[in-house]
Chains A and B, each alone.
Chain A
Amino acid sequence: MSSMTIEGAGVESRNVTLLELLDRLIDCGVVLTGDLTISVADVDLITLGLNIVLASVERMEQLRAGGELGRAEGLHDG
């Protein structure tokens, strides 16, 4: 019963998607001030670059999900 309706992924497992990790590591976490090498100005630069990657990862996952579901739907129609 439970395996049909709920899916869990231990953090140790490989099921943890890159997107889930990026969501947490890049969007969350404490930001300590001070003499960061990647200083405030540069953080914007990195975040910019990472956001491009993030967007592409998200897009990839959506395409994948859409692709799978699209195929399943095709079976229903046919």
Chain B
Amino acid sequence: MSDRFGLTVFALLVLAARALPAQDELRVLQARRAQLMARVDSLALVVRAQENAARDSNLRIVVHDGAAFMRTTVALEGVGRDALKAATRQARLVLADDTDSLATDLQLSVREYSSDYRVDRRFLGLGGYSLAATPAKFAGAMLAVRFAAVDYSGTTLDWPVARANLTAGIVAAFERAASTRLPAALDGWLNHRVPLRADAAEFWTSLYRALATSSAAVTRRCVGGNLAACRLALAIDSMPTDRLAAWHDESDWQGLAVSAGDPLNRTALYQRMSIDEREQCTKLAKRDACLRMLSLLPPDALRIPVPEVGRAALFHMALERGGPGAFRRLSAGAAPSVAGMLGAAAGESADSLVSAWQRRVMAGRPQSPLPDTTFFLASTVCIVVCGAWAARGKPWT
């Protein structure tokens, strides 16, 4: 009886195993049919997406039909429209009316891509069989940017395309586009990008913290209340010829000697100073050795002490205080220095603008070193609840 039962089960298993490949093929065919149907539907939706996007701004998002993933285009209808709206709103906060003129010259397209790969099991050991058995898939989307008839490198977006990612990509496209309208000096000062990202709630606190713990003494003096130090640390007048002397004091030297510049900047240093000589500075903190190390670094190894986000905050402040037309005044670039350009945009003196920025930064200093009220309340409630729970507990029942 049990033999017969066993044989029956075995026979069924064999039949099932033989039927599986056929099942697979059938499933593939069904999937293709579904894909083709989806493709037809989605093309209509793409057209609608373009129309919606066009209504919201001067921008167009052109969705290229990827071969495999019809579903994306369907999703992009909503995602693309929302992302365009959000990005345009964000750009308008900083660029105001200039947003539309920028958008006219900006062309965006999203191209989906995907590829399947299957690992050839001949190249794998035994452990690779499971990997070889399941095909893997690369999938993503590329946001391509074209501004004033010039192609810029695209931004790769994660799959599936999320609204936030697409918005960030479009904002980045605006930032690059806007920077081309700035005078060269200001463009360089902003690191070739007009920052459009909104400041986070704790931005000023983190900026204060960054400046107060900066490796440049001049920046620390700036947040200590010295306005001249702020102008120097922001480098808005001109680049100092001796950056080390202008921005740093002796306590910064050893740290700078260790970390300033990138590896390419440090080639001369490595060639002309032996390890032992360098260790006179890096380990023994000998003043002369540190000075020699720093002298062997190219001048641009020492960067503007106020980081990019701090400079961007000053830039935003200038546009905000300048009101409508501020970005156009900046673009005109009549002033000889960054300070002058920002002052012109803000419609006030550079000193007054920097002073406002400094006050804002200093106001960002954490108010109290004690834990905040939420922390106090949450902790107290938790402790009281635990105590009450414990007091009600019975060890046996």
Q: Do A and B bind each other?
A: no
By a beta-carbon cutoff of 8 Å, the part of chain B in contact with chain A is none
